[in-house]
Chain A
Amino acid sequence: MGKRLAGMFWALLFLAVPVLGVATFAIAPSINVWLPKDVSEHGRNIDSLFYFILVLTGVVFVATEVLLFWFIWKYDAAKARGPATYIHGSHTLEVVWTIIPAATLLFLAIYQMNAWADVKMRRPAMSPTVEVVARQFEWRLRYPGRDGTLGSADDLFLVNDLHLPIDEDVLIQLKSMDVLHSFFLPHVRIKQDAVPGMKIPVWFKAREEGAFDIVCAELCGWGHYKMKGRVTYESRAKFDAWLERKYAEQEATQPPAEAADVALAR
């Protein structure tokens, strides 16, 4: 009798896996431990793919785990009568559960190629909006300035404070000064490693205004965690005004008033 209870106990323990597993994912969004707000054009494709795979795998997960529970529950030696079924397998079954997953996976692979190509392969024909150079442990930014070309005397240099216009394609030229870094914009679903010696293009289109984090997602040394930036998406007008203001500050030949200086230094 005790053995039977033990069996049930273990079976239920295994049942807890799918139950709590699903529960965790069900609760997650409500406690805000979930995909951060997406403000990009392409982000919705990525998110929908995420949900699609989540549902797909979720079904398989629940099915298999529940099956596992059921077998453990049913075929407990202390419970079930008679000897075990003497069988070495079933050819049909093997074929079935090879073909079906194969087809699904292949479909999945082909289905998402387009989304991938949009983000990484179909580069818009334009000159870089800004150059982002990763460095231990900061994001150094360079805007082309009035003449629109990088590497001229009127470039605008900034650190960690990236501003970009919304509702239009932006092309970022990503470089690294020293080691590997990864340029991660969670809210527009963009991530790209910065590799010393390479100029890697990154492009996207933001839909909403707002200020968000720039995260470094590739270990770059002891200060990796420090490597935080801020990206601000704003309307073209605001963006241009901001560029002008920053450029004026960069070219300052007279100190601003003490109070203003402090404020401006922020």
Chain B
Amino acid sequence: MHGTPMHTQRTLMTMFGKPSCLLVAMALVGLAGCGTTPPASFRANFVEATKQRLTPEQEQQVATILLAMFGTPDDPVALPETGLDEAKLKLCAGPVRSDIVGRKNGLYREHCAHCHGITGDGMGPTAAFLNPYPRDYRPGVFKFKSTERSDKPTHADLVRILHNGIAGTSMPSFALLSEVQVDALVEYVKYLSMRGETELALVRQFFELDDDAQGRLPETREFLVDETLTPIAERWKAAADARIAVPEMPADVDLATSIAKGRELFYGDKANCVKCHGPTALGDGQANDYDDWNKAIVEWSKEVAGDKDSDWVSKAGRVLAGDALRPRTIPPRNLRHGIYRGGRRPLDLYYRIHAGINGAPMPAAKGTVAPEDIWHIVNYIRSLPYEFDGELGVDRPMVAKDRF
């Protein structure tokens, strides 16, 4: 035993004894390694479906109809009525890869999916940790646009968002993507939005059905396309011609007086900005309100809490836990930061004040505040980050002189 390090005969034996067990081990690891994952799939709008108390069969019918009308995340379908360009969608859909000509495919999953989710429900894996939450496209409501509150955003509006990002949120700028890619992504966002709106419409239709729990929706073209899809698509098409007409900034008043007027309006009770944005404009006015997305969850959980029908409540509980993000209040903008989520152009601010912000508590001033007065408010808002205000001592580090 104290001999040479090599124990030849044993070595030979084990040499030929071992491979079997080695191969087995390798095979095992191999198997584990090739664990295939299922293709990405759209997730049902459980919140609405449960709110409408759909049966599993009804949920499945909706899924089937949507599959027929919109396809899958890997293979999207755009019916002619949607007016969407299927080629653009294909560029964004599917897993990230490069095609034969080396063009990048699966753009949505490369850039958007981990926040906005494969379904566009604003619930990707990263979403829960972001503040504010990523946009849920499914209601088809967008905040920052050049159209009236009730209208859809124009193509250019969405392009602008992708280009500039949304300051003060986790939405980054995609200015460095190619024109084609940004264009395609906007198209895909519209696609997810229309799909979500269609899903909502279908789910809500079950209540309109005549009374029996097992009711199914008609699967005719008339119902699905003419009555459901077309109205939705039409509103998207109409957006381009629905842009707000912006009057020229009043030229006769100089900036200082305009700012002074704006200040009056800000505190005055016609425009009443002070109520929410606060007397110091630090966004410390009415701060315990929700935007539409969170409000829906808040209201529904109230309803669930008040109900007694046990099995429905228990399902609703699971949905609230697994398919809804913890509701967050939406604080009014701190106007001293000089951060303007919808863009810092005077034009952008005009849009925000004129039409309000769809989906958010911010109301529209049009009708009650005259256009030139809106311009005065715009000028005042733009001066706020630079207006030194003694009361701001505590908040100094946040004014634009030091940070923006």
Contact surface of A with B, Cβ cutoff 8 Å = 133, 136-138, 140, 142, 151-153, 157, 159-161, 175, 177, 222-223, 226-230, 249-255, 258, 261-262, 265-266
Contacts and interface: CB of A to CB of B under 8 A. Distances in A.
A142 B386 CA distance: 15
Contacts of B175: 159-161, 230, 266
Nearest to B350: A253
A254 B243 CA distance: 12
A255 B347 contact: yes
Contacts of A142: 404
Interface of B: 126, 129, 146, 154-156, 159-160, 163-165, 167, 170, 172-173, 175-176, 179, 182, 240, 243, 246, 248-249, 338, 344-347, 350, 375, 382-383, 386, 400-404
B344 A151 contact: no
Given A153-B382, A253-B350, 6 more contacts: A136-B170, A138-B165, A157-B344, A160-B173, A258-B156, A266-B175
Contacts of A140: 167, 404
Contacts of B248: 253-254
Contacts of B383: 153
Contact of A262 (B155, B170, B382): B155
Contacts, number: 84
Given A159-B175, A254-B248, A177 B403 contact: yes
Contact of B345 (A160, A250, A258): A250
B403 A133 contact: yes
Contact of A258 (B173, B240, B404): B240
Nearest to B385: A153
Contacts of A222: 126, 129
Contacts of B404: 133, 140, 142, 157
B267 to A, nearest CB: 21
Select the residue from B164, B170, B347, B404 with max chain A CB neighbours within 10 A: B404
A262 B154 CA distance: 10
Contacts of A175: 403
B169 to A, nearest CB: 10
22 contacts: A138-B173, A140-B167, A140-B404, A151-B402, A157-B338, A157-B344, A159-B175, A229-B176, A230-B175, A251-B345, A252-B346, A253-B249, A253-B346, A253-B350, A258-B240, A262-B155, A262-B156, A265-B159, A265-B160, A265-B163, A265-B164, A266-B175
Contacts of B338: 157
Contacts of A177: 403
